[in-house]
Structure 1
Amino acid sequence: MKFVLDTHSHTIAGGHAYSTVIEMAKVASDKGLELICITEHGPAMPGGPHEYFFGNLRVIPDNIYGVEILKGVEANIMGYDGKLDLSEKYLEKLDVVIASLHEICYPGGSVEENTEAMINAIKNPYVNIIAHPGNPRYPIDQEAVVNAAKKYGKILEINNGTFMGSRKGSYENCLNIARLARDYGVMLSLGSDAHIAFDIGRFDKAYEVIREAEVPEDLIVNTSVEKFKRCLKSRFNEK
């Protein structure tokens, strides 16, 4: 399986990453990637950029070193209602919107409450991808989340950074989510979650999950720019 794009990465603008957009694009080009998504954390993350930052992403070229650059956000889910930390005014201008749970922004709850938070984020028409849904800190009804992703046409992520020490104990959750996605025909993305340029396009651990889960290539968005953009659909239809 050949991967040509990375859906999830962070630059120095995010407050706890260490490379610039140009550096990320250069490494992506050297690795043969065709597209990368720059998805800084939303403003509720300590050190994250102000919302004005997301309104000015248009100044970044659409193509750097031959790599297409999609401008986006990894928005924080703030509560059980699925509310995000970036307003619609800015979400609607972005190429891609990832939503995720982080300890610093969301305290966590019961399985039912965490599931409610994630499904409500899935229902948000601006959200494209749910990042690291297998995080064991936030136990969920995995089948309910996968079903919601199917119903609303959203992508679920297998996050490579998860297996680099940031979310220990995630493997079995991610494996089960991948198997459910396979069974229900839900699209998956492999996100490097790179916080330094060297990790852009790194999917070695995430690939182990989808390989063990026997997920077919047609359900992996990273194998085709056209396929990925079809999953983003309305954003590119409007441009």
Structure 2
Amino acid sequence: MDIVVDSHTHTIASGHAYSTIIENALASKNKGLKLLCTTDHAPEMPGAPHYWYFNNQRILPRFLHDVGILRGVEANTLNHAGELDLPPSSYPHLDWIIASFHEPIFAPASVKEHTQTLINVIESGKVDALGHLGNPNYPFELKPVLQCAKDNNVAIEVNNTSLTGKSRKGSDVHCSNIVELGNEIGVYFTTGSDAHFCEEIARLDLAISLLERHNVPEERVITSSASRFLNFLLLRGKPRISEFEALY
């Protein structure tokens, strides 16, 4: 399975990452990517930028080093109601919104609370993908969440960093279970390196291996072609991006 979109990456703006958007774009070109989603942490994460940073992404060129740039964010799930840490003014400026649980923002709770929170996040209509769901600190009931994601066309991220054992240890078994059941239900999957340094861009080998192990069809992995990714955004109700017309 070829992957040509990295849908989860960070720049120095996140406060604990080490490369610029220019460096990430160059790494993307060198590694054969067609599209790069830049998804810095939203404001409630310690060290993250003010929300103006996300509103102002409209100034980013649509292509850097011949790689298409998707303006995005990794938003923090704030509470059990599924609210995110972005004001309404930010959403029109963003192409791609990931929502994730992060321990400094949302204290781990019960399986029941995690499950309902994820459903509330999905049903808010604000989120395109759920990030690193394999985190063992946030167990949830798989079937209702994955069915809700399918019904609402929200992608499930397979996060390569979660599979390395260097971050969110213990995620590998949870990720495998999520992919197995998600494939049965028919969800869309996205793949993210979660790069915090440019050399990690497009490092997706473990994610690809997991998807292939469970025989996930390529047409349901939205990062397997630029066209699939962009058309998924249309399915989500996002406006057509004229600069990417040749990629649809």
TM-score (ref. length: structure 1):
0.97
Contact 1:229 1:236 in 2 (8 A): no
Report the Cα distance in structure 2 between the residues aligned to 1:18 and 1:149, rounded to whole angstroms: 32
Alignment correspondent of 1:205: 206
Cα root mean square deviation, aligned: 1.1
Q: Which residue of 1 aligns with 2:220?
A: 219
Gaps of 5+ in 2: 243-248
Distance 1:124 1:206 in 2: 27
Look up the match of 2:145.
145
Aligned length: 239
Separation in structure 2 between the aligned mates of residue 124 and residue 109 of structure 1, nearest angstrom: 21
Which aligned pairs between 1:169-180 and structure 2 lie closer than 5 A? 169-180=170-181
How far does the alpha carbon of each residue in 1:178-197 deviate from its partner, in whole angstroms, 9 at most, with x for none?
Answer: 11111111100110000010
Quote the Cα distance in structure 1 between the aligned partners of 2:241 and 2:118.
26
Give the aligned partner of residue 73 of structure 2. Answer: 73
TM (norm. structure 2) is: 0.94
Aligned to 2:106: 106
Structure 1 residue 232: Cα displacement: 1.4
1:15-34 matches, within 5 Å, as 15-34=15-34
Distance of 1:22 and 1:124 partners within structure 2: 33
Cα distance in 1 for residues equivalent to 2:169 and 2:209: 16
Runs of 4+ residues deviating >2 angstroms: 236-239
Rounded Cα–Cα distance in structure 2 between residues aligned with 1:89 and 1:121:
18
Residue of structure 1 in register with 2:40 after alignment: 40
8 Å Cα contact 2:56-2:93 kept in structure 1 = no
The Cα shift of 1:238 comes to: 8.1
Percent of aligned pairs sharing the same letter: 41
Q: Identify the residue that residue 239 of structure 2 maps to in structure 1.
A: 236
Q: Which moved more, 1:90-99 or 1:20-29?
A: 90-99
Q: Which moved more, 1:89-98 or 1:3-12?
A: 89-98
Q: 3-state SS of the aligned residue for 2:212?
A: helix
Question: 2:62·2:70 contact (CA, 8 Å) conserved in 1?
Answer: yes
By how many angstroms is 1:226 displaced?
A: 1.2
Q: Confirm whether residue 133 of structure 1 aligns to residue 136 of structure 2.
A: no
The aligned residue for residue 186 of structure 1 is: 187
- Structure 1, gaps ≥5 residues long: none
- Give the C-alpha shift of residue 65 in structure 1: 0.6
CA 1:231–1:56 in 2, change beyond 3 Å: closer, same or farther?
A: same
Equivalents in 1 of 2:239, 2:35: separation in Å?
Answer: 15
Verify the 8 A CA contact 1:35 1:225 in the aligned structure 2. yes
